[in-house]
Amino acid sequence: MISSKYVALLGLSAIAAGLGGCISVDTPTEPIVIELNINIRQEVIYRLAADAEDAIDENADIF
């Protein structure tokens, strides 16, 4: 006698085999464009401020 687990497994295998041909992956015709709008202004200002502070400390007699 065939168990119900075997029948269920056989049924799922048949469904999976039938769906195997339905999936297709195509490459896009246009290139993928990723737009990154990153604001780095704060970091640049911080670095410039640190550099300016170092320059003032090194040349205190000029300022």
User: Is residue 32 one of the residues assigned to a domain?
Assistant: no
Reduced to 3 states (helix: H, G, I; strand: E, B; else coil), residue 34 is coil
H/E stretch holding 16: helix 4-19
Residue 2 domain-assigned (yes or no): no
pLDDT at 44: 64
**Which position has the token pair 């992956």?**
25
CA atoms of 59 and 6, how far apart (whole Å): 86
Which residue in this structure is represented by tokens 């990154």?
36
pLDDT, one tens digit for every residue, the chain (63 residues): 567 777 787 777 777 666 666 677 888 899 989 988 877 666 667 777 888 888 888 888 876
Total of domains in the chain: 1
The residue length of the chain stands at 63
User: Considering the domain boundaries, does residue 10 fall inside one?
Assistant: no
CA of residue 41 relative to chain centroid, distance: 23
